[in-house]
Structure 1
Amino acid sequence: MSQPYPVIVIGAGPIGLATAAHLRERGQEVLVLESGEHAGAAMQQWAHIKLFSPWRFNIDAAARRLLETPCEGYAGDWEAPRITKLPTGGELVREYLEPLAAHPEMQPRIRYGHRVVKVSRLLEDGRGADKARTAGRDESAFLVRTETADGPVDLIGRAVVDASGTWNQPSPVGRAGIDAIGEAEARERGFILGGLPDPLGADRQELAGKSLLVLGAGHSAANTIIALGRLQKQYPDTKIQWGLRGVANPIRLYGGGAADQLPARGQLGTSLRRLVENGNVQLLENVSVAAMKPEEQLTVVLADERELVVDRIIAATGFRPDLQMLSELRLDLDESVEAPRQLGPLIDPEFHSCGTVSAHGEKVLAHPEKNFYIVGMKSYGRAPTFLLATGYEQIRSIAAALSGDAQAAERLELELPETGVCSTDLGGSCDAPAQQESSCCSSGPQPVALGIPTGTMHGGTELVGRPSGEW
């Protein structure tokens, strides 16, 4: 029953659109469902952020071939941006994702304003197959329900690739992974902002001259603090506090500096360090938020009974996958990071302190639910260590498997720039390929497999859909 139907891809960000490009290159029918009104809608919310990887790392190989090859109704005259330039999130959308989504091979196969709310299975006779149903399950189609402006819509696919990201599911500010007492009210009243505001642009009046508490130790927090430092030069009354859950570790906080193979990423940590050491930013340790009292200002009560009075919290505390929409599918997830079980141990930030990223494809990402895959940022669950290059490799392998090319699916191709540090830089950012345990600080990267880097967007500043904030 499932064969005549398309592969349904959830999400029209870089990973979702690249999935469609790989499938179309192999002659497979595909349908992309995007909750926003245009491609890269989540990225547009942090359009002002400049990536620290240049363009040459941010364009998928199959997507590039599609954009550069003439076909009926398309001249193939797309010109890639200068490969050494660092794009902003907005430029990535305008100069890459929008042309890709408008391509004649892609445009008819994308539906905007479709928010996926449930994925299940559908038997040949039209009866549903919930999680408890086993007979005929592997051969059945998928039933995907979306919410639209005109009401719910049911769609049918032969396979589903979930590239929806985690941007709309931020982690709580409170301790123990749950909202602090009073956190919901504080959010409703506007005391808590997301992890990538625009202090020098749209949010200038909201933040200038205020007492600000930034929570998080990922690249999102670093970018925000650096922008706030510039704001502080214009508005000296602006007070910046940086709260960390544990004790500050300079190596983890400031990254590889000059040793980083992506200079802009190294400069991020260098600039951050300067702000702290010059006293522009007050570093607070052991910030475990127990409660909040929103009044004229926000009183933040910590677990050790300290109280901080601030005007705004900027929460760069990470994101979580939305698994509720997948509750009728048979998933096999790592119990700690909520990634596919085989992937979990490879990315768990609790144990990975050397910035390692191993190439992985269809086999590692497979679930008991045949022909269903979670890819991209969402595949990393709660781990803040996803890279765009890793996501492109994931979907290259999966597209091959769904097209019946087992040999290509098993082949792994990945090479990533070195961080220059023997720790997860900036609090949980994995930017280096696997290295030998005894030579963690040896010179240069040791990739697990050779290949063309096709994107290195990171869990802090650059993560597509999810700037991180492991703190």
Structure 2
Amino acid sequence: MTLLDFTARPAVGDGLGTLPVVIIGAGPVGLAAAAHLLERGIEVVILEAGDGVASSVRRWGHTRLFSSWRTLIDRAAERLLAEAGWSAPSDLDRMPTGQELVDEYLAPLAALDAIASRTRLSARVTAVGKEGIDRTRTQGRARVPFLVQIEDADGQPSELRARAVIDASGTYETPNPLAASGLDLRGGAEVADRVLHALPDVLGADRELFAGRHTTVVGAGHSAANTLLALADLAEREPGTRITWLLRTPSASRVTASEADELPGRARLGARTDQLVASGQIEIVDSFRISRAERTETGVLLLGTRDGEPAVHETDLVVNATGFRPDLGMLREIRLELDDVVEAPRRLAPLIDPNVHSCGTVPPHGFAELQHPERGFFIVGMKSYGRAPTFLLATGYEQVRSVAAWLDGDLESASSVQLTLPATGVCSTDAAGTGSCC
């Protein structure tokens, strides 16, 4: 493991100090990072792959978050908004939907001139490296600017030079495969139009797709449970709507209600799911490990093993709620130090190990745990958790506050990390990780 000098100021010589910090992703954590840096007088450029800010949040905007407004608003962002006359929602204990989070907080934040003038939409980052050198060269590396390669909506390339890079691009766009092996599902291309991303809008935009059909939800976590509950509501109104919950594990204990859960939304989610399973409205197929898929005239065959024996499951539609993983392809030329198991920064991984910690027992952490051998490069937010589930936005806000302080040379503030999280039950995971958040 490379030893890093956490006390050293970030390199800003050789003209690096005149370059901006590039932030990848204009979601909640990326926008918070921009607010903290701008508050310190550090120039930023925000790159968002979607055609609007918080594009991933908008995709699951119909889903209610587990956290209340009280922990969903970053403090630096709030100060920036307050200067423009914005007021926080009146009921800070209410849990908003994703769309409400966008409409009432993220969109007003992004519309501020200080943010909007520094944001590039439809700007997908394809690669990050160092200008003029590849990852094998060490001498003088810290004094060389980062080079960020971008493609616009028409595929036209461009490049940006940066003094530092903060990757807050999230993981929602890179779901885990349905195959239990973690590899691409054999036959997946044949059934791609019958397999849906996690958290579809069952009762809204996607209603006609699910009504009167048999849907199988694959995954053992809270993203799966949200979809199951929506399908159960639909089944009460639309005859012929059937629901199967397919698990790789012997049970769905990960979403079982817990009196110790300080996130009441999660506790209610677990309790309702238990009731629907007990009543038979949701059929469970457990211990099923998918290996391939085949297209039928009307649906999908999932083939694999169950308790070591060959097994087949037939359904009309599949919802892939098996969790998410970080997209590391664009970081190939960056010197990263990632945990071998969860693909989180190596110093952060033991603090979020789902076999040891619940979401609420994750200790405070900041720039030191997030730093890589590539000085000035950070992965923050949900992507910093790699494949570990149940990231909370409050964690990401403290991450970027610390990183911004370090980039400003304020080691005292950067090192003083403080965070109080609710006890949220054991965030255990396996190949069917939950990916639930917020």
TM-score of the alignment, normalized to the shorter chain, above 0.5: yes
Distance 1:426 1:50 in 2: 22
- Opposite residue 209 of structure 1, the aligned amino acid is G
**SS of aligned partner of 1:120:** strand
Cα distance in 1 between the residues matched to 2:185 and 2:310: 14
Pair 1:133 & 2:137 matched: yes
Is the 1:241–1:281 Cα contact (8 Å) retained in structure 2? yes
- The residue type equivalent to 1:210 in the other structure is R
What corresponds to 2:271 in structure 1? 270
**Mapped pair 1:172 → 2:171:** no
Deviations 1:432-464 (A, max 9, x none): xxxxxxxxxxxxxxxxxxxxxxxxxx942x44x
Contact 1:347 1:385 in 2 (8 A): no
**Which of 357, 365, 383 is the aligned partner of 2:370?**
365
1:299-357 Cα distance to aligned partner (Å, 9 max, x none): 11122311111000111011111111010011111011111111112223244468631
Paired residue for 1:113? 122
Q: CA deviation at 1:377?
A: 0.7
Report what 2:149 is aligned to: 145
> SS of the counterpart of 2:288?
coil
Aligned ranges for residues 443-462 of structure 1 at < 5 Å? Answer: 459-460=435-436, 462=437
Question: Structure 2, unaligned stretches of length 5 or more?
Answer: 1-14
**How far apart in 1 are the matches of 2:66 and 2:121?**
29
Match of 1:92 in 2: 101
Q: Are the aligned partners of 1:212 and 1:240 in contact in 2 as well (CA < 8 Å)?
A: yes
Alignment match, 1:245:
248
User: In the superposition, relative to structure 1, how do residues 352 and 52 fare at CA in structure 2: closer, same or farther (>3 Å)?
Assistant: closer
SS of aligned partner of 2:365: coil
For residues 164 and 402 of structure 2, the distance between their equivalents in structure 1, rounded to whole angstroms, comes to: 15
Aligned residue type for 2:65: L
Residue in 1 that maps onto 2:56: 42
Equivalent pairs, count: 418
Tell me whether 1:182 sits opposite 2:187 in the alignment. Answer: yes
Task: Provide the secondary structure at the position in 2 that maps to 1:176.
Answer: coil
User: What TM-score comes out, normalization by structure 1 length?
Assistant: 0.85
Query: What do the CA deviations read for 1:146-167 (whole angstroms, capped 9, x no partner)?
Result: 0013510110110000001111
User: In the TM superposition, what is the alpha-carbon distance from 1:261 to its structure 2 partner?
Assistant: 2.1
SS in 1 for 2:314: strand
- The equivalent residue for 2:89 is 81
Q: Give the partner amino acid of 1:85.
A: R
Task: Call closer, same or farther: CA 1:84–1:110 in 2, change over 3 Å.
Answer: same
CA RMSD of aligned residues (A): 1.9
Name the CA distance, whole Å, in 1 between partners of 2:340 and 2:431.
19
CA contact 1:210–1:239 (8 Å) conserved in 2:
yes
Residue number in structure 2 paired with 1:254: 256
Distance 1:92 1:376 in 2: 16
Q: Which residue of 2 aligns with 1:194?
A: 197
333-342 or 175-184: which moved more? 175-184
1:104 maps to what in 2?
113
Q: Deviations over 1:139-194 (max 9, x none)?
A: 1111001001351011011000000111111110012101222122211xx11011
Cα 1:209–1:289 change in 2 (3 A) is same
**2:234 corresponding residue in structure 1:** 231
Which of 361, 378, 402 aligns to 2:383? It is 378
Of 193, 212, 215, which residue of structure 1 is paired with 2:215?
212
- 1:231 offset after TM fit, Å? 0.5
Deviation of 1:292 (Å): 0.9
| Worse overlay, 345-354 or 205-214 | 345-354
Is 1:154 aligned with 2:163? Answer: no
1:375 deviation in Å? Answer: 0.4
Q: What fraction of aligned residue pairs are identical, expressed as a percent? A: 48
Shift of 1:249: 5.0
Please tell me whether the aligned partners of residues 354 and 429 of structure 2 are also in contact (alpha carbons under 8 angstroms).
no
Amino acid at match of 1:19: A
Amino acid aligned to 2:399: Q
